[in-house]
Amino acid sequence: MPEITAQLVEEHNLTAEEYERILRILGREPSIAELGIFSVMWSEHCSYKSSRPHLKRFPTSGAAVVQGPGENAGIVDIGHGWVCAFKIESHNHPSFVEPLQGAATGVGGILRDIFTMGARPIAVMDSLRFGPVTERADFPGINAALNRRILRGVVSGIAFYGNCFGVPTVGGEVVFEPCYQNNPLVNVFALGIARKNEIFYARASGPDNPVIYVGAKTGKDGIHGASLLASAEFSGADGQQKRPNVQVGDPFLEKLLLEACLEAMHTGAILGIQDMGAAGLTCSTCEMGDRGGVGIEIELNRVPQRETGMTPYEIMLSESQERMLLVAQRGREQEVMEVFRKWGLDAVEIGAVIEAPVLRVKQHGAVVAEIPNRALTEEAPVYDRPRALPRRLAPLEPPLSWGPRTGAELAEDLRKLLGTPTLASKRWIFEQYDSMVRTNTVIGPGGDAALLRIKETGQGLAMSLDGNGRHCFLDPRRGARLAVAESARNVSVTGAQPLAATNCLNFGNPEKPMVMWQFREVVEGIAEACEALSIPITGGNVSFYNETEGQAIYPTPVLGVVGLLESVERHCTAPFQNEGRSILLLGNARTPGHEFRITFGSSQYAQTVLGALWGLPPEIDLDLEQRVQACCRRLIAEALVESAHDISDGGLAVALAECCMGKSVGAAVDLPSGSDPLALLFSEDPSRILVSVPGNLLADAKRIAGEYNVTAETIGTTGGKSLRVTKGGKTLFDIPLSSLRLPYEAGLELAVEKAGVGCEVSGART
C-alpha cells in the first residue's frame, strides 16, 4: 500500500484540514482505497459542500410533488395514477476533454437517473454552450476551429447515445459566447413516466438481503471523473492529460439494462435500486445504505471486471457506465438474476445489507475499507465560503452611441440577428437527433417547449430549458428570475400548466468570493421567481469549477420546467397558422427612456449588431409574469388563439420573423407613431407573448385579457409572403420571407460546416 503523504492527499483534491478530519473519523490512517473513497464522496460534485447551505432556499414542496430533492430524480403527480420523473445533470468537463464520449455518457447517466426510479424515459433535451464558431474581431483570442470541433463532437455524442438507446431528443438550447470557449456546458434534461404505485427509491433495507450488481462489467475508465474532472479547475494541458477520466458509453447495453430493470422491478423482489453514476460503486453503496439507515458489505472479487488485476481503489472509483446496484429480498434473488440473464446482462450477488451503518469493502475476505456511511454523505464537509461583490466588468452606461436607424438598416439588423448562430435555426443540430422515436412527440425541436403525448391518459407533458449567462453576468439575481420566467413561459405558450422545475447551476471556482456571491444571488433569484410563479424545485445539479487557467464562465443557471396539459389535442404552437388573423401582443411592457438604454446592453442586438455589452438585464414584474402566462393558457384552453410565441432573445422583430417563417404566413405590423422603432423591435423586455386570433374571436380574447389585467394590444394582421413593418402607416421595411429564411436556416450550418468567417455578421453575406 502506498504511503499516504501530503502530496498524495493534495492530488486527491483534499485539504490538510479535511485529511485531519478523516483521521479523526477513522481513528487511524486510511488505506489508499479509503482515501480514494473520501476523495470522491467529499468532492464538490458529490457532496455539494459549497452549495448545500444555499440550496435550502429553494421551494421544494407543492400539490403535485411526490418526490423532491434527495433522490435520483424528482417526481410529480400527473393524475390518472401516473407520475412524471425528471432531472437535469451536467457533463461539462468531460465534454471538453472528450466531446463525443463526454456528451454521450451525460445522456446515459441522466437516463439511468430516470429509470432507476421505475420510470420509462420518454424524452431528452439538452442545454449546450460553446465558444464562438466563427472568428470574432472583438475577441482576438477566439479559437473557432476548436469550438467547432467541440460542437461537432458533443452533438454527435448526444445523437449517438439517444438515437441508439431509443429516446427522442425533443429540443433544448444552444448558445455561443466567448466565455465558454474552454469550458463548454453540456446540461442534459430527461423525463420519464411511471405508475404512481410503482416508484422505486435508492434505499437499502433488511439486514442479510442480497446486494446485486447488474449491467456492464467494471473497467478502468472514468476513475476520479467526479473528483478530478468535475471538482477542479482546468489547465491548458488537461484536454489530453485527463482523457482516461472520461467514461465510455454503450447505449445498446443501456437499452438492455433499462428493459431488464423495469421487468425485474415488476417481480416485486427488488427493495431498492441506484445507478452507478458519479463515484460509481462507492456512491451507490454508501448512499443506499445511509438512506435506509443500514450498512452494505461487498466482496470485490465478485464484482464483474473487464480488466485483470484491478485494485480495490480502481474498482471502487471506476465510473464505468451502464451499471446498477440493487437490493433484493433474500430468497427471491434468483428471480431477479434470471431477468437480467434473459437480457444478456451480468447479475451477481456481491454482498449483503448489514445492520452496522457502514460501508465495508472486502477483497479475498480481508477488509480493505470500512467507513461510516454518514461520514461520506450527510456529514461530509460543508463550507459557508466567503462572498464578495465583484467589481463590475461591464459598464453600466452604454460605451457607445447610436442614432436613429432607417428602415433599411432595421431590416439589415433583423437579418443579421437571424443569421447569428445563437438565434439561427438549430436544424443542422436537431436533424442529427431522432426526435420522433416512440411516437409521443407532438411538438419537437424548434418549438418554444417540447410537448409529449401520454398515450395512456391523453394528456400532454411540456418540457422547456432556458438560461442566459449574459444576463446573470450583468446581474445574477435579475438574470436568474428571468431564466425561471422564460422557461415557464415557454411551457405556458403550449397551453400547459407549469408543475415543477429542475435546475443545473453552472459556475466558476467556488473558492473565489466573487463566484460564491454570484451563486448566492442566482439561488435567491431562482427562489423568488419559483415562489411567485408557484413552481417548486424537485432537484437538480451544481457544476462548479468551470474555469480554465483562471478564466470563469458566466454564471449560468439553466432551468428545466415541466408542465401538464390535460388534453394534448388542445395545445398551441408558435407559427402563424392562417392569413387574416389579428396579431395580439399580450403584456406589452415597454421600458421607458433611460432605463431602456441601460437594459438594452444585455440584449442580443447589443451583442450582435453593436458589438458591446453593458448595463443590466431587464427587471421583471413577477406578478405580471404570472398573469400573462395564466391569460395565455386560458386563451389556448378556450380555443381563442391559433398560435402563441414568447418574446425573448432578439425581441419582437425576431419573434415575428419566427412566427412568419414557420408556415410561410407573413404579417403586417404597425408601430405607434412617435415611438422608437429600435426599442420596440429589439428590446427584450420579459412577460410578453405574441398570439394570433381570428377576427370573430378578438373581442372575447381581449375580454379575457382584461380579466387578468393584462394588456392585449392589436399590433397587426397575418397574411402575405413578407414581414412588413410600418410606423404610423409609413413603411419601415417589407422583407420577403425568403430573405429572412436564408440567413436563419443557413447561419449555423455555414458557420460550422463552411467555417464561414462573417456568417455571424449578416444574413445578406451568407
CB 424 within 8 A of CB 418: yes
Q: How far, in Å, CA of 563 to CA of 566, rounded? A: 10
pLDDT top residue among 307 and 231: 307
418 domain-assigned: no
- The single residue listed with the C-alpha cell 432573445 is 649
755 domain-assigned: yes
Q: Mean pLDDT over residues 335-364, rounded? A: 97
Q: How many Cα atoms sit within 13 Å of 743 on the Cβ side? A: 29
Catalytic residues: 45, 91
pLDDT 10s digits, 443-487 = 999 999 999 999 999 999 999 999 999 999 999 999 999 999 999
Q: How far, in Å, CA of 559 to CA of 88, rounded? A: 9
In the predicted model, what is the mean pLDDT of the chain? 94
Q: Output the nine-digit C-alpha cell for 616.
A: 443590466
> 529 with 650, same domain?
no
Q: Residue 619, exposed/middle/buried by CB under 10 A (0-12, 13-18, 19+)?
A: middle
396 domain-assigned: no
Residue that terminates a domain, selected from 521, 538, 570: 570
CB 630 within 8 A of CB 708: yes
- The single residue listed with the C-alpha cell 447505449 is 251
Distances from the Cα of 763 to the Cα of 405, 411, 418, 618, 751, angstroms: 18, 10, 7, 27, 12
Q: Say what percent of the chain tops pLDDT 90.
A: 90
> 523 with 583, same domain?
no
Q: What is the CATH number of the domain that holds 367?
A: 3.90.650.10
> 213 with 353, same domain?
yes
pLDDT reported for residue 223: 86
Residue 99's Cα: distance from chain center in Å?
Answer: 17
Q: How far, in Å, CA of 190 to CA of 121, rounded? A: 7
* Dihedral-angle region of residue 639 (phi above 0 means left; psi in -120 to 50 means alpha; beta otherwise): left
Q: How confident is the model at residue 247 (pLDDT cuts 50, 70, 90)?
A: confident
CB 286 within 8 A of CB 376: yes
pLDDT reported for residue 344: 97
pLDDT reported for residue 227: 56
Q: Output the nine-digit C-alpha cell for 164.
A: 441508439
Which residues, at least 6 apart from 419, have a Cβ–Cβ distance to it below 8 Å? Answer: 743, 744, 746, 747, 759, 760, 761, 762, 763, 766
Which residues, at least 6 apart from 62, have a Cβ–Cβ distance to it below 8 Å? Answer: 76, 499, 500, 534, 535, 536
> 160 with 220, same domain?
no
Residue 255's Cα: distance from chain center in Å?
Answer: 22
pLDDT 10s digits, 156-181 = 999 999 999 999 999 999 999 999 99
pLDDT reported for residue 543: 97
pLDDT reported for residue 441: 98
In this structure, what is the dihedral angle of CA atoms 42, 43, 48, 50, given to the nearest 10 degrees? 100
Q: Say what percent of the chain tops pLDDT 70.
A: 95
645 domain-assigned: yes
CB 734 within 8 A of CB 660: no
634 domain-assigned: yes
Is a pLDDT exceeding 90 seen at residue 229? no
402 domain-assigned: no
pLDDT reported for residue 756: 46
Q: Output the nine-digit C-alpha cell for 644.
A: 402563441
> 368 with 316, same domain?
yes
Q: Mean pLDDT over residues 268-272, rounded? A: 98
Q: How far, in Å, CA of 521 to CA of 480, rounded? A: 8
Q: Mean pLDDT over residues 75-91, rounded? A: 98
404 domain-assigned: no
Coil, helix or strand at residue 257: helix
Which residue type, as a one-letter code, is found at position 483? Answer: A
pLDDT reported for residue 234: 63
Supply the angle between the helices 144-165 and 737-753 in degrees, to the nearest 10.
100
608 domain-assigned: yes
CB 718 within 8 A of CB 652: no
> 124 with 254, same domain?
no
- In 611-674, where do the E strands start and end? 643-646, 667-671
pLDDT 10s digits, 562-606 = 999 999 999 999 999 999 999 999 997 566 677 899 999 999 999
Helices (H), 266-332: 280-292, 312-317
> 728 with 755, same domain?
yes
Which among 533, 617, 625 is positioned nearest to 586, based on CA atoms? 625
Q: Output the nine-digit C-alpha cell for 234.
A: 482546468
pLDDT reported for residue 222: 78
CB 759 within 8 A of CB 751: yes
Q: Output the nine-digit C-alpha cell for 538.
A: 424537485
CB 762 within 8 A of CB 416: yes
Is a pLDDT exceeding 60 seen at residue 764? no
Residue 741's Cα: distance from chain center in Å?
Answer: 28
pLDDT reported for residue 760: 39
Query: Residue by residue, what is the 3-state secondary structure of 678-691?
Result: HHHHHCCCCCCEEE
- In 458-572, where do the E strands start and end? 459-466, 497-506, 537-543, 547-548, 551-552, 556-565
Q: How far, in Å, CA of 544 to CA of 555, rounded? A: 10
Is a pLDDT exceeding 50 seen at residue 507? yes
Coil, helix or strand at residue 172: strand
Is a pLDDT exceeding 70 seen at residue 637? yes
CB 312 within 8 A of CB 371: no
Residue that terminates a domain, selected from 351, 380, 409: 380
Q: Provide the residue range defining the domain that includes 606.
A: 572-766
Q: How far, in Å, CA of 710 to CA of 272, rounded? A: 49
- Between CA 355 and CA 362, with CA 360 as vertex, the angle to 5 degrees is 130
Strand partners, 583: 692, 716
Q: How far, in Å, CA of 261 to CA of 345, rounded? A: 11
Strand partners, 718: 667
CB 298 within 8 A of CB 37: no
Q: Mean pLDDT over residues 194-201, rounded? A: 98
Q: Output the nine-digit C-alpha cell for 13.
A: 483534491
Which residue type, as a one-letter code, is found at position 601? Answer: G
pLDDT 10s digits, 749-758 = 999 987 644 4
Q: How confident is the model at residue 733 (pLDDT cuts 50, 70, 90)?
A: very high
Which residues, at least 6 apart from 138, have a Cβ–Cβ distance to it below 8 Å? Answer: 611
Residue 500's Cα: distance from chain center in Å?
Answer: 14
> 92 with 185, same domain?
yes
Q: What is the CATH number of the domain that holds 528?
A: 3.30.1330.10
Q: How far, in Å, CA of 372 to CA of 25, rounded? A: 8
Q: Mean pLDDT over residues 325-342, rounded? A: 97
Q: How many Cα atoms sit within 13 Å of 324 on the Cβ side? A: 39
pLDDT reported for residue 246: 86
Least confident of 139-143, 149-153, 368-372, 686-690: 139-143
CB 282 within 8 A of CB 40: yes
> 220 with 143, same domain?
no
Q: How far, in Å, CA of 737 to CA of 741, rounded? A: 6
pLDDT 10s digits, 124-162 = 999 999 999 998 777 788 999 999 999 999 999 999 999
What pTM, to 2 d.p., does this model score?
0.95
> 51 with 136, same domain?
no
pLDDT 10s digits, 20-56 = 999 999 999 999 999 999 999 999 999 999 999 999 9
Which residues, at least 6 apart from 717, have a Cβ–Cβ distance to it below 8 Å? Answer: 580, 581, 582, 583, 667, 668
> 126 with 262, same domain?
no
> 168 with 103, same domain?
yes
- The single residue listed with the C-alpha cell 448595463 is 615
How many other C-beta atoms can be found within 10 angstroms of the C-beta atom of residue 550? 10
Q: How far, in Å, CA of 437 to CA of 297, rounded? A: 41
Residue that terminates a domain, selected from 548, 570, 592: 570
- The single residue listed with the C-alpha cell 478523516 is 22
pLDDT reported for residue 233: 74
pLDDT reported for residue 657: 98
Classify residue 426 by its DSSP letter: -
- Number of structural domains in the chain: 3
